[in-house]
């Protein structure tokens, strides 16, 4: 599933259709479609060729902790299973992962655009968390975190229905407020 996210993101960032990427890479459009849908597990060489055909490079950062993209997949599964509390735990795990690393490694954990979780609320929360934690390092948020789909029209308390916390708006980092997601900075402190 990770290859699907990486290939899709690289293609979109380059502004290419699947057909255009197929022409550039020599990989058929139907194979690219299957890869992006997670129905085909490509070889490392194929992923590298696809990324190179978008004008990008595949960079590996050795880490054992989940990225924003992998945590988003976990949240998607939790939401589909009706496990809102587990989705919140996965979100907190991403926060802890980002706090455990610095600089370029923190950026590497956030750079790949997460697939939509099926919930605009959680998509906005993930974008807010990435923007917040990268901002602490003086690193700009990746473009995906600033896409209009990552901003809510109506404010949402992230703990709503799970472990309801009363959140004072003054305690919410601006990166979350901008995206319409309420989570207090103190609730993101690792223990």
Domain assignments of the chain as residue spans, ordered by start: 2-53, 68-188
Q: Tens-of-pLDDT digits for all 191 residues of the chain?
A: 478 888 987 888 788 999 999 999 999 999 999 999 889 999 999 999 999 999 988 877 777 899 999 999 999 999 999 999 999 999 999 999 999 999 889 999 998 888 899 999 999 999 999 999 999 999 999 999 999 999 999 999 988 766 667 788 899 999 999 999 999 998 888 65
CATH topology of domain 2-53: 434 Repressor (Amino-terminal Domain) (1.10.260)
Q: For residues 135 and 50, give the distance between their C-alpha atoms in angstroms, rounded to a whole number.
A: 31
Q: Can you name the residues that pair with 79 across neighbouring β-strands?
A: none
CA dist list (Å): 136 to 92, 170, 191: 17, 18, 18
Residue 190: predicted pLDDT: 67
Whether 143 and 169 have beta carbons less than 8 Å apart is answered as: no
Contact criterion met (CB below 8 Å) for 183 and 172? yes
Question: Model's pTM, two decimal places?
Answer: 0.76
Three-state DSSP at 182 gives: strand
User: Contact, 96 vs 190, CB < 8 A?
Assistant: yes
Beta bridge partners of 157: 182
Number of Cβ within 10 Å of residue 161's Cβ equals: 9
Q: DSSP state, 170?
A: G
Q: Are 141 and 127 in contact (CB under 8 A)?
A: yes
């Amino acid at each position: 599933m990770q290859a699907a996210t990486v290939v899709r993101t690289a293609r979109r960032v380059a502004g290419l259709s699947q057909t255009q990427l197929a022409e550039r890479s020599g990989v058929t459009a139907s194979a690219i479609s299957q890869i992006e849908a997670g129905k085909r597990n490509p070889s490392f060489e194929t992923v590298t060729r696809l990324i190179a055909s978008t004008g990008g490079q595949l960079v590996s950062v050795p880490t054992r902790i989940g990225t924003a993209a992998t945590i988003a997949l976990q949240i998607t599964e939790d939401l589909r299973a009706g496990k809102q509390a587990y989705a919140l735990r996965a979100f907190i795990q991403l926060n802890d992962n980002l706090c455990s690393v610095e600089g370029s490694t923190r950026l590497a954990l956030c750079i790949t655009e997460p697939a939509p979780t099926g919930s605009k609320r959680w998509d906005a929360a993930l974008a807010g968390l990435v923007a917040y934690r990268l901002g602490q390092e003086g690193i700009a948020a990746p473009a995906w975190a600033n896409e209009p789909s990552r901003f809510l029209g109506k404010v949402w308390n992230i703990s709503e229905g799970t472990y309801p916390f009363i959140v004072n708006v003054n305690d919410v980092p601006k990166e979350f407020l901008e995206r319409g997601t309420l989570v207090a900075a103190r609730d993101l402190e690792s223990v």
